[in-house]
């Protein structure tokens, strides 16, 4: 009896801990849509809206950042840190690694923040992403789409070592380290060194941009699932965090995909509600648009209103058959054919049309012309600056998304 109750109590505790890890949040760049810098009041307004969204299926009290550096500064801590402290918002931090040979300014900004804010800051940090879509940018497909200068696997691994050395023995030493990239970057065996070096993997996935795959809204859930399952299969026992996904409310039609509030709601239900919310650490794209060059607009609210553009309440039934997705896991895994050059035959990304702005502030020494990342619909061209830091639907046709911490297994013990 005692043993049984003890085991049950332990299982419940583990399940509770697992559930606690399934954060809900949005992405947030370092600049506004007009490319001007965001300051504390701007981040604070975002975080307060996110936590007070009408009808939300949970509390969106986490945020994913792309840089530690305040826009227009060299190595000053981004003011999102102070806003997070004041609003008790959890932080998935990011270090910009594309187009640079060192991350010293990023590390300096982070060290300054630790010194200035102490545990009020470090206690809110749930993860550290070393890089964002760097492997995709350096793939053949990324080059074709003018996604900008990325970083090869060995460079990402060396930056991970630099970060660990800089914070060894400190409060951030226990923070799980990850890297964010497209799904077919993870299924590419030439990038395995990065998988081996991280504690978790972050995936960006936008079925909207999946050309020639039947990317109409009714098929979006299945496309997402295939990429998600392929990612999970490729990374083994590493937890998968969904770092970007969403459906545009306005913009141009993309193959069979059409933007609208109605379709954004359907995607929210079929992907977010059915597959992600409460099951995987999820950072939706997005609460507020920050990239003026992306014609697709993903913001779920207007002017940071707590009343969203569509109903966020989750339905009790879904159109997407999860069992079909599970049975097609193997086909999903093979969708992206790995190449030693770092590319994937499956990726059909949008042509570039502007900076993705997922990188650090333009004033950052680490921010180079590579800035524009792969973002969906974003140009990511070599001339794009990293100023916006938005990380918008960058994923371009490829990325995908997914999953949840391996802790999810414990979650089901309940």
Please give the positions annotated as active site: 133, 244
What is the C-alpha separation between 151 and 136, in angstroms, rounded? Answer: 9
Residue whose pair of structure tokens reads 């100023």 in the numeric block: 387
Distances (CA, A) of 54 to 112, 113, 280, 311: 36, 33, 21, 8
Q: DSSP of 367-379, one letter per residue?
A: --GGGG-S-TT--
What is the C-alpha separation between 62 and 153, in angstroms, rounded? Answer: 28
Tokens of 31: 């600049």
Nearest CA to 391 among 183, 254, 243, 273? 243
Give the SS3 label for residue 37.
strand
Contact between residue 376 and residue 394 where contact means Cβ atoms under 8 Å apart? yes
Residue whose pair of structure tokens reads 């699932």 in the numeric block: 225
What is the C-alpha separation between 134 and 101, in angstroms, rounded? Answer: 13
Nearest CA to 181 among 167, 158, 161, 198? 198
Nearest CA to 343 among 184, 213, 167, 158? 184
Residue 251 belongs to what H/E stretch?
A: none
Tokens of 325: 């997705």
Across 54-166, the runs of DSSP E, i.e. the strands, are 62-65, 90-95, 125-132
Residue whose pair of structure tokens reads 């079909």 in the numeric block: 324
Tokens of 130: 């070393």
* φ, ψ dihedrals at 194, nearest 5°: -70, -40
Answer positive or negative: Cα dihedral of 393, 398, 402, 405.
negative
72 Rama sector, left if φ>0, alpha if ψ -120 to 50, beta otherwise = left
């Amino acid at each position: 009896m005692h043993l049984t109750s003890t085991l049950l109590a332990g299982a419940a505790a583990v399940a509770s801990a697992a559930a606690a890890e399934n954060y809900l949040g949005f992405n947030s760049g370092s600049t506004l849509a007009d490319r001007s810098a965001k300051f504390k009041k701007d981040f604070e307004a975002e975080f307060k809206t996110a936590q007070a969204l009408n009808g939300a299926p949970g509390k969106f009290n986490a945020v994913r950042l792309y840089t530690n550096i305040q826009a227009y500064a060299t190595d000053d801590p981004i003011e999102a840190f102070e806003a997070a402290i004041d609003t008790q918002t959890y932080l998935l931090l990011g270090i910009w690694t594309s187009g640079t040979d060192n991350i010293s300014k990023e590390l300096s900004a982070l060290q300054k923040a630790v010194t200035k804010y102490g545990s009020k800051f470090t206690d809110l940090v749930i993860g550290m992403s070393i890089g964002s879509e760097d492997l995709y940018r350096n793939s053949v497909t990324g080059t074709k789409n003018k996604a900008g200068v990325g970083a090869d696997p060995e460079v990402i691994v060396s930056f991970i070592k630099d970060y660990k050395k800089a914070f060894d023995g400190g409060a951030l030493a226990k923070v799980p380290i990850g890297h964010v990239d497209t799904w077919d970057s993870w299924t590419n065996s030439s990038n395995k060194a990065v998988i081996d070096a991280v504690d978790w993997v972050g995936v960006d996935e936008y079925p909207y941009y999946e050309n020639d795959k039947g990317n109409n809204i009714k098929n979006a859930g299945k496309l997402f699932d295939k990429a998600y399952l392929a990612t999970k299969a490729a990374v083994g026992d590493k937890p998968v965090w969904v770092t970007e996904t969403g459906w545009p409310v306005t913009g141009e039609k993309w193959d069979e995909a059409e933007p609208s509030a109605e379709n954004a709601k359907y995607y929210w239900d079929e992907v977010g509600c059915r597959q992600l919310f409460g099951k995987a650490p999820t950072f939706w794209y997005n609460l507020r648009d920050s990239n003026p060059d992306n014609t697709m607009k993903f913001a779920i609210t207007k002017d940071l209103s707590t009343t969203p553009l569509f109903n966020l309440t989750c339905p009790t039934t879904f159109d997407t058959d999860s069992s079909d997705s599970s049975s097609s896991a193997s086909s999903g895994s093979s969708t992206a054919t790995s190449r030693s050059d770092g590319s994937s035959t499956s990726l059909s990304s949008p042509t570039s049309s502007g900076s993705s702005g997922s990188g650090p502030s333009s004033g950052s020494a680490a921010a180079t012309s590579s800035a524009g990342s792969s973002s969906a619909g974003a140009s990511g061209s070599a001339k794009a600056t990293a100023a916006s830091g938005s990380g918008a639907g960058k994923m371009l046709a490829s990325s995908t998304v997914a999953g949840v911490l391996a802790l999810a297994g414990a979650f089901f013990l309940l």
